[in-house]
Amino acid sequence: MLLVILPAIPLIGGLFVLFKRSRAINIPLVTSAIVFVLGGFGLGNVFEGRPLNFRIPLSGPYTPTFHADSLSAIFVLLAAFLWFAVSIYAPEYMKHEGGTRRFEFCTLLTLSAVLGVFLAGDLFTILLFFELMTIASFFWVIHRWNKEAVRAGYFYLFFSIVGGLFLALGIVLLGAATEALPEVGGGFVAPLDSRLFTWSVVLFMAGFGIKAGMAPLHLWLPHAHSVAPTPSSALLSGLLIKVGAYGLIRVGEFAGWGRVLGSGMTWLGPGLALLGACTMLVGVTAALLQSDAKRLLAYHSVSQIGYIILGLGIGLYLGSDGGLGLLGAIYHIVNHALFKAALFLGVGVIYLHTKETNLYNLGGLWRRFPVTAVLMFLAVLGITGAPGLNGYASKTLLHHAVSLAAETGTPWVVWVERLFLLVGVGTTASFTKLYYLIFLGKPAKIKISGGVSPRLQLAMGLLTAVMVGIGLAPEFFPNNVAVPAA
């Protein structure tokens, strides 16, 4: 029953938002805290190899099922924690954007949909919540209702609908290939028709790849992330694109993690790895060319999702030796959510007080925003993979996985390893540019309003504290959480 209660809590919170008269209570904050605590206590046993299952007994052809294993629990707790941090930040920020009630309602509806995806036990239920997530988050993108926001919103909606159609068609072909749709978390699927099974996997890759921002299906992402209010951008980049990564991991289960892939699926590991490498390169190259801070961060979401997809591809390619790739991908999903949300929130602080996101119109702001500068510096160190921060741990695992694959001497893997290092240099260069132009460059000749609200810095501080904690004890998360999931 817990698996239904968790997605229902944000829905109940959304009703309170619609009908409340007083704004004294931060309902998204309370709701996400309840989900985090309840999920932490209720899902703890799944890390000991005891998954939870629940079926809603409906009459008819469709019976919704819910499933929680250690992978689901990681994503549920990550979602609740990010929503909690952003809910501390959002009320102060949304005073300047307006439409606070509409924003809070869409936020809670999106949280419910995201939790539903992570806890779904069958592919139809995943699709149902996936589409609900698309509709709810669409109103984030068009929140400002100006020409740019509406254009980006419809761009986002178009790509998301196409992604949903790919998933629906993939489900149909998978059912035809297996005669009975596999359950989520059920492991390897032995298809009766390998050709239909292959096409279903291709469609799942495209559908989830669109949501993840995988090149060349990433075109919606920089537009949507740059026009949405900053709390929405933090959640879009920190978590919603991870829904696509979660879907790709589940598709990998059907193909067979830790197994030598069948003759019709040998392309899957190399294909995902090469798509991940291309996504890394496209994202970091575009980021280097940006002058707008939010667009730079958005393109780095593309680049960092490339790391994750590369890890998944290498994991499938190496078969029984590929655990390190899957482990590194799961680890980097969590780490990217933390430092990218913190970076977006930091840029939002600067925007609130300068009304500017063009890097070349900023500069010397560390004097006015010293706490924000320190917190963003930690987040920059995290995303660039500096030792002592969380990004170093997950990127090291991913690099070891790629190096292990490169030891086979296969030319494409050797070049992927070189590209891995090159993208790391590009990431460092682009974030040096971002940080220098905002905080260390020549002082900007722009009007800067008032002091920074402690709430904004508290939200950033919460995220960076977890980042530093992971960096100081990098073995804790893999040993206790990620290894059971992998």
pLDDT in tens, 427-462: 999 999 999 999 988 877 777 777 777 888 899 999
- 214 φ/ψ sector (left φ>0, alpha ψ -120 to 50, else beta): beta
pLDDT in tens, 191-241: 888 889 999 999 999 999 999 989 888 888 888 888 889 999 999 998 999
pLDDT in tens, 327-366: 999 999 999 999 999 999 999 999 988 888 888 888 888 8
pLDDT in tens, 35-48: 999 998 988 888 88
- Give Cα separations from 227 to 97, 294, 297, 342, 429 (angstroms): 12, 8, 12, 18, 24
For the chain, which residues make up each domain, given as ranges? 267-486
- The answer on pLDDT for 107 being more than 90 is yes
DSSP state of 358: B
Q: What is the pTM of this model?
A: 0.94
Determine the average pLDDT of the residues in 381-406.
92
Burial degree of 377 (CB within 10 A; 0-12, 13-18, 19+): middle
Spatial contact of 234 and 341, defined as CB atoms under 8 Å apart: yes
- Pick the closest to residue 286 from 213, 185, 335, 392 (CA basis): 213
- The answer on pLDDT for 179 being more than 90 is no
| pLDDT above 90: percentage of residues in the chain | 58
Spatial contact of 39 and 76, defined as CB atoms under 8 Å apart: yes
B/e letters for 266-305, b = 16+ CB within 10 Å, e = fewer, are eebbbbbbbbbbbbbbbbbebbeebebbbbbbbbbbbbbb
Report residue 22's pLDDT band, with 50, 70 and 90 as the boundaries. Answer: low
Q: What average pLDDT does the chain have?
A: 90
pLDDT in tens, 70-101: 999 999 999 999 999 999 998 888 888 888 88
How high is the pLDDT of residue 185?
Answer: 82
Secondary structure of residue 98 in the 3-state scheme: coil
Report residue 263's pLDDT band, with 50, 70 and 90 as the boundaries. Answer: low
How high is the pLDDT of residue 202?
Answer: 93
How high is the pLDDT of residue 172?
Answer: 92
How high is the pLDDT of residue 118?
Answer: 95
- Give Cα separations from 335 to 10, 258, 453, 477 (angstroms): 24, 24, 26, 11
With tokens 């059907």, the residue in question is: 254
How high is the pLDDT of residue 86?
Answer: 94
Cα dihedral 299, 301, 303, 306 sign: negative
How high is the pLDDT of residue 357?
Answer: 84
